C-alpha cells in the first residue's frame, strides 16, 4: 500500500500491538464480562428475530452487495455526480486525502465562522480522524450529542463498538461520570436511575445545542442522484446537530455512496435489522443543501468533507470488498472474540471482524497485525454481514501481506517453512508423526500432557493435551489394520 513517507498516506492511531495484554485485562474485568454476556446473547437474538420477519432478507443482501460492488467499480463517476448535485443545491464538497487534511479542512471551516462551540452527532469517521482533539487545540469546545458518545467523551475513552460506543458501561459508571462532569452546570445532585440519567444528559445537551455555532455529523449514506446525505439514528440527536446550528458540516468516507434514492431504501431496510433487529431506525433524515429562502429554518451553510484516508488504496486491491461495509456492527455482535474481550481491547476505533480488516488498511499492518491474527476464522461474521463481505478471507489476506513482508513472527515463519518441507517428504512426515506421538506419550502422566514447552505452552496454559494411544494411523494402517 502507500509508502510510509508519503505525506498523504492514511493515518490512524492505534494501540493494537497491546491486544493480548488488553484482552487479559478485559477478561479479568468482572463488570465488563457481565455486560458482554448479556450483549452477546441479546444482540444475536434481536437480529435473528428481526430478520426472521423478512423472508426476502437473503435476496436483499445479494442486491445490496451488487449495488455496492457496482458503485465501487464506478466510484469516481458517482462521486463526481454527487459533488455536482451538492453544489447545485448550494452546498460545498471538500476532499481530504488523509486525516491531517480532513482535520485541517474542518478546522478551517470552523474558524471561518468564528466557531466557539461545536456540537457533534455520532460519526466513526471523525473518531478515525481524531477530530475532537484537533478542534480543541484550536480553542473550540466540542460536545458529542449521541448519548453513548457523550459518555465516552466525558470518560476520555475510545468507543467500545461502532454502533454502541458506551455499551460496555453500567449505569453506576455513567452515574459517577455524570456526577463529576455536570457539577459545572450546577447539577450537584447525584442521579442514579437510568431514565433520570438520560433526562439529565438531555437537559445538559439541549443547552449545548442552543449555543453551538457549528453542527458536525457523519453520513450513513451519500445519494449520488440527489446530492443528499442520509443520517440514521435512534436518538434524533443528529437532526438537532444538523439543523439547529447555523452551519452544518458532514464528514464521511468516500465509499458511502449509493446511486439512487431507491437504492437507499434497500440499505435502510438492511441496516437497522442487521444492527439491532429493528425494522426501521427511530430517525431517518435526508439533508440536501443548506436552508433555502423559502425554508423557515435550517443551516446557512452545508459543507461535506469526503475522506479518503486509505480507502482508495483498498479499491482495486484484495481488500476492495471491505469498502461495502455499512457499519451495522452485526459482525462484532456475532464474533466470539469480540464478545469475549470487548471493543477496547482492539486498540482501534474499528474493532471486531470489520476492524480487523479495516484497521491495518489505515494504520498499517505492522501496527495492527494482531487484529487479523486474533481470529479463529469461525466465519460467523461473514454469515451475518448484510453486504456479504468475506471477512475471514480478507483477514487471511492481511496475514498474507504480513508474511510477504516478513512481519510474521520468526518462529512461526520458520515453523511453516519446516512444515511445508516435511509435508513434501512423505517418509519423513510418517516418521515425524510417529515420533511426535511417542514424545507426547513419554511426556504424559496417566495419558495427559499437562505442560508443553515453548510456543506450544500456550496450549497447556488453558488445557491439557491427551496423548495419542498406539502408533500413528499410517503406521497402524501399514501394519494391516483396517478397522
Edge to edge, the sheet with strand 221-223 lists: 257-258, 221-223, 228-233, 283-287
Taking the complex as a whole, how short is the minimal distance between the CB of residue 359 and ligand SF4, in angstroms? 13
Complex with ligand SF4: residue 377 or 455, whichever CB lies closer: 377
Distances (CA, A) of 71 to 68, 223, 255, 342: 5, 11, 8, 33
Place of cell 474542518: 106
Binding window for other proteins (CB under 8 A); candidates: 18-26, 102-110, 158-166, 325-333: 18-26
Taking the least distance from each CB to ligand SF4, the nearer of 26 and 330 is 330
| One residue of 110, 345, 356, 385 binding ligand SF4 per CB under 6 A | 385
Q: Report if residue 389 touches ligand SF4, rule: CB under 6 A.
A: yes
Report the candidate in 453, 14, 131, 85 with the shortest Cα–Cα distance to residue 287.
Answer: 85
Site for ligand SF4 in 303-342 (CB under 6 A): 325-331
Considering only 71-79, 171-179, 298-306, 451-459, which stretch makes contact with other proteins by CB under 8 A?
451-459
- Told to check if 481 binds other proteins by CB under 8 A, we report yes
Packed helices 57-73 and 261-276: angle between N→C axes, nearest 10 degrees: 120
CB 411 to ligand SF4: min, Å: 32
Q: Which of residues 273-292 bind ligand SF4 (CB under 6 A)?
A: 274
Determine the interface stretch with ligand SF4 among 31-39, 104-112, 255-263, 386-394 (rule: CB under 6 A). Answer: 386-394
Residue window 417-446: x/- pattern of binding to other proteins, with contact defined by CB under 8 A = x-xx-xxx-x--xx--x--xx---------
**Spatial distance between the Cα atoms of 409 and 399, rounded to a whole number of angstroms:** 11
- 324 secondary structure, DSSP code: G
Asked if 455 is part of the footprint of other proteins (rule: CB under 8 A), the reply reads yes
476 lines the binding site for other proteins (CB under 8 A)? yes
- The Cα 159–Cα 332 span in angstroms is 13
**Are 330 and 388 spatial neighbours (Cβ–Cβ below 8 Å)?**
no
Residue span 371-400 as binding mask against other proteins, x where in contact by CB under 8 A, dash where not: --xxxxxxxx-xx---------x--x-xxx
Burial of 139 per CB tally in 10 Å (0-12, 13-18, 19+)? exposed
Contacts of 27 (CB under 8 A, 6+ apart): 33, 340, 341
Scored b (16 or more CB within 10 A) or e, 213-234 reads bbbbbbbbbbbbbbbbbbbbbb
Report the C-alpha gap between 400 and 409 in whole angstroms.
13
Measured from the CB atom, the residue of 169 and 325 that comes closer to ligand SF4 is 325
Using rule CB under 8 A, residue 273 touches other proteins: no
- Judged by CB under 8 A, does residue 451 bind other proteins? no
Query: 250 has which bridge partners?
Result: 217, 304
Q: Judged by CB under 6 A, which of 93, 214, 254, 354 binds ligand SF4? A: 354
**Which of these, 343, 324, 328, lies nearest to 276 by C-alpha position?**
328
Query: Please, are residues 388 and 61 in contact by the beta-carbon 8 Å criterion?
Result: yes
Which of ligand SF4, other proteins, none interacts with 331 (beta carbon under 5 to 8 A by kind)? ligand SF4
Q: Where are the beta strands (DSSP E) in 254-300?
A: 257-258, 283-287
CB 160 within 8 A of CB 338: no
C-alpha cell at 282: 427511530
If the CB atoms of residues 342 and 437 are measured against ligand SF4, the closer one turns out to be 342
Contact partner, 462, from other proteins, ligand SF4, none, Cβ < 5-8 Å per class: other proteins
Binding positions for other proteins, 23-42, rule CB under 8 A: 23-24, 27
The pattern of x and - marking residues 314 through 353 that bind other proteins according to CB under 8 A reads ----------------------xx--xx------------
State the Cα–Cα distance between residues 257 and 348, nearest whole angstrom. 24
Q: Which stretch binds ligand SF4 (CB under 6 A): 131-139, 361-369, 383-391, 452-460?
A: 383-391
Residues in contact with ligand SF4 by the rule CB under 6 A: 274, 325-331, 354, 384-387, 389
Amino acid at each position: 500500500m502507500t509508502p510510509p513517507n508519503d505525506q498523504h498516506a492514511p493515518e490512524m492511531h492505534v494501540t493494537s500491538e497491546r491486544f493480548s495484554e488488553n484482552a487479559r485485562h478485559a477478561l479479568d474485568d468482572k463488570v465488563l464480562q457481565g455486560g458482554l454476556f448479556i450483549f452477546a446473547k441479546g444482540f444475536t437474538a434481536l437480529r435473528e428475530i428481526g430478520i426472521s420477519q423478512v423472508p426476502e432478507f437473503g435476496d436483499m443482501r445479494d442486491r445490496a452487495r451488487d449495488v455496492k460492488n457496482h458503485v465501487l467499480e464506478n466510484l469516481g463517476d458517482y462521486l463526481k455526480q454527487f459533488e455536482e448535485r451538492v453544489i447545485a443545491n448550494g452546498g460545498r464538497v471538500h476532499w481530504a486525502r488523509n486525516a491531517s487534511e480532513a482535520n485541517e479542512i474542518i478546522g478551517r471551516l470552523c474558524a471561518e465562522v468564528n466557531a466557539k462551540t461545536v456540537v457533534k452527532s455520532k460519526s466513526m469517521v471523525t473518531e478515525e480522524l481524531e477530530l475532537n482533539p484537533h478542534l480543541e487545540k484550536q480553542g473550540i469546545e466540542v460536545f458529542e450529542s449521541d448519548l453513548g458518545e457523550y459518555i465516552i467523551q466525558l470518560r476520555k475513552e475510545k468507543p467500545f463498538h461502532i454502533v454502541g460506543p458506551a455499551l460496555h458501561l453500567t449505569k453506576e459508571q455513567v452515574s459517577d461520570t455524570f456526577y463529576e462532569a455536570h457539577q459545572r452546570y450546577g447539577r450537584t445532585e447525584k442521579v442514579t436511575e437510568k431514565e433520570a440519567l438520560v433526562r439529565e444528559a438531555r437537559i445538559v445537551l439541549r443547552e449545548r445545542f442552543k449555543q453551538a455555532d457549528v453542527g458536525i455529523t457523519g453520513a450513513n449514506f451519500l445519494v449520488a442522484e440527489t446530492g443528499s446525505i442520509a443520517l440514521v439514528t435512534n436518538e434524533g440527536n443528529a437532526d438537532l446537530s444538523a439543523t439547529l446550528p447555523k452551519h452544518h458540516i458532514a464528514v464521511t468516507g468516500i465509499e458511502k455512496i449509493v446511486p439512487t434514492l431507491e437504492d437507499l431504501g434497500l440499505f435502510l431496510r438492511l441496516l437497522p435489522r442487521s444492527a439491532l433487529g429493528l425494522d426501521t431506525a427511530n430517525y431517518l433524515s435526508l439533508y440536501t443543501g443548506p436552508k433555502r429562502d423559502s425554508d423557515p429554518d435550517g443551516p446557512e451553510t452545508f459543507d461535506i468533507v469526503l475522506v479518503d484516508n486509505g480507502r482508495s488504496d483498498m479499491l482495486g486491491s484484495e481488500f476492495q470488498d471491505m469498502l461495502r461495509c455499512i457499519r451495522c456492527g452485526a459482525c462484532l455482535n456475532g464474533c466470539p472474540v469480540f464478545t469475549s474481550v470487548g471493543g477496547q481491547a482492539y486498540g482501534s476505533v474499528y474493532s471486531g471482524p470489520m476492524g480487523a480488516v479495516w484497521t491495518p488498511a489505515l494504520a498499517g499492518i505492522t501496527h495492527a497485525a494482531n487484529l487479523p491474527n486474533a481470529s479463529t476464522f469461525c466465519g460467523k461474521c461473514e454469515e451475518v454481514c448484510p453486504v456479504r463481505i468475506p471477512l475471514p478471507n480478507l483477514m487471511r489476506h492481511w496475514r498474507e501481506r504480513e508474511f510477504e513482508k516478513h512481519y510474521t513472527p520468526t518462529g512461526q515463519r520458520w515453523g511453516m517453512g519446516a512444515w511445508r518441507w516435511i509435508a513434501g517428504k512423505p517418509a519423513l512426515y510418517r516418521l515425524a508423526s510417529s515420533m511426535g506421538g511417542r514424545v507426547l506419550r513419554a511426556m504424559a502422566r496417566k495419558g495427559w500432557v499437562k505442560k508443553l514447552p515453548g510456543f506450544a505452552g500456550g496450549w497447556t496454559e488453558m488445557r491439557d493435551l491427551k496423548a495419542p494411544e498406539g502408533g500413528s494411523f499410517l503406521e497402524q494402517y501399514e501394519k494391516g489394520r483396517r478397522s
